[in-house]
Amino acid sequence: MAVDFKYIVVGRGLMGAAAARHLARQADGVAVIGPDEPDDRRAHEGVFASHYDEGRITRTIDPDRNWALLANRSIGRYGEIASESGIDFYREVGCVVVAPDGSDYLARTRQAAASLDVETSLLDEAGLKAAFPFFACPSGSAGVFEAKGAGHISPRKLVKAQSLLAERAGATVIPDHVISIRSEGGSAVVQTAGGLTYRAEKVLLAAGGFSIAENLLPRPVAMTVYARTVTLFEVSEADAARLAGMPSLILETPGFHIYLLPPIRYPDGKFYLKIGGDPDDLILHDEAEMRAWFKTEGRETVRAHLQRIVAGLVPDITPLSISTAACVVSYTQGGYPMIGYTSSPAIAVLTGCAGTSAKSSDEIGRLGAELLLSGRISGQGYSTEFTPQFR
């Protein structure tokens, strides 16, 4: 039976849009299906994405070499993506990882960076205070600082750039969302919420947390989706200028794990300092729970927790307002993205952000494209094969 497309990518978030770009540059007959950002989250009845935001940390430094390599390769292509699309989505302000002095976390972070020839500096407690006087880091801390090739990105703008370049390379961008995928007659059939049906030789499901939704895969992926609450501290123009030298920060202590982004200008024209790091987990079990969660402003208990941390960590700011937003993170059993085929040779999956893959999404998308084009992704320099697990 004739197909409409050779390849269909289901999901137009960070990974899906990247996969579509890489596919379209190497093959004809590519489509990517995913909705535009809703104008009103509360009234929206469709699916959501966590990239509807302006701030994500980007850096190579990571205690896990595979994650460091995924990030490093993606960051290496930021310039190309920005130049070709004309969309500026990256700010190189550096990133510092702070943890107890002498911790294994810092040692592994430096080791992974060194294995990739990424330059870092090790700062003791006094060094942290001297370099970053706006942070009041916990006593006994040390930090690994990556000055070049690190900072933060706008995930919203990165997806826009990837979608634009995919379309320029010949991909068809379909602003809808998929409600079912099935194998039929040696190919895959995709049905959308808008009532349309498309047939492809192969389909790559890259729907983020919504990859656990029913009717998308022969068997559901073994992935846990957690609700997350981020907190935004509005700062004045003067404070934003004063904190212009602030890098992105990851703080790993025995009591908590948080990330903090320097003041970023959001679409409303205001500057916000963003922090994330829920003190406990709230599992979202299905699509209905995810949709309901995205319509909220997150959890008040998390806001209070993060507000206390910011008051101690960045004591010299006086926020003009404090707000929260809901997002989700998806964890696989192996701790890495799942990139591989299902029981159907026509349906593959690309999902599992582990709360850390926005920065790495171009490389993860490239691996998804490689899977469809070559049938496998081995020999890429990683110590894992990203094998999917199913329930």
Does 51 score more than 90 pLDDT? no
CA gap 123, 186 in Å, rounded: 57
Torsion of CA 321, 41, 59, 332, to 10 degrees: 130
pLDDT at 179: 95
**Two structure tokens written together for 93:** 């302000």
Mean pLDDT across the chain: 94
Q: What is the pLDDT of residue 1?
A: 61
CATH of 92-153+224-332, one of 3.30.9.10, 3.30.1490.70, 3.40.50.2300, 3.40.50.11540: 3.30.9.10
Question: Pick from 190, 203, 171: which is nearest to 24 by CA?
Answer: 171
Whether the pLDDT of residue 53 is over 80: the answer is yes
Q: Give the DSSP H/E element, type plus range, for residue 8.
A: strand 5-10
Helix (H) or strand (E) holding 362: helix 361-374
For residues 142-171, give the mean pLDDT.
97
Q: Is 106 exposed, middle or buried (0-12, 13-18, 19+ CB in 10 A)?
A: buried
What DSSP string describes 266-300? -TTS-EEEEEE--SS-EEE-SHHHHHHHHTS---H
pLDDT number for residue 355: 86
Longest dimension (CA), the chain: 69
What angle is formed at CA 96 by the lines to CA 91 and CA 360, rounded to 5 degrees? 55
Mean pLDDT of 374-383: 90
**pLDDT confidence tier of residue 79, bands split at 50, 70 and 90:** very high
> Which residues sit opposite 76 in a β-bridge?
none
Which residue ranges make up each domain of the chain? 92-153+224-332
* Tokens standing for residue 344: 């159907």
Strands 5-10 and 197-205 turn out to be parallel
Which tens digit of pLDDT belongs to each residue from 85-130?
999 999 999 999 999 999 999 999 999 999 999 999 999 999 999 9
Side-chain-side CA neighbours of residue 123 (13 Å): 21
Quickly tell me which residue has 């040692």 as its tokens: 107
The sign of the torsion formed by the CA atoms of 237, 242, 246, 251 equals: negative
Q: Is 72 helix (H, G, I), strand (E, B) or coil?
A: helix
Categorize the per-residue pLDDT at 314 as very low, low, confident or very high, splitting at 50, 70 and 90: very high
pLDDT at residue 387, rounded to an integer? 95
Residue 322, pLDDT score: 97
Q: Is pLDDT at 164 greater than 80 in this prediction?
A: yes
Coil, helix or strand at residue 316: coil
Give the global pTM.
Answer: 0.95
Mean of the pLDDT values across residues 281-288?
95
74 near 360, Cβ under 8 Å? yes
Q: Checking phi first, is residue 41 left (phi over 0); if not, alpha (psi -120 to 50) or beta? A: alpha
Is 90 exceeded by the pLDDT of residue 40?
no
Place of tokens 């294995």: 115
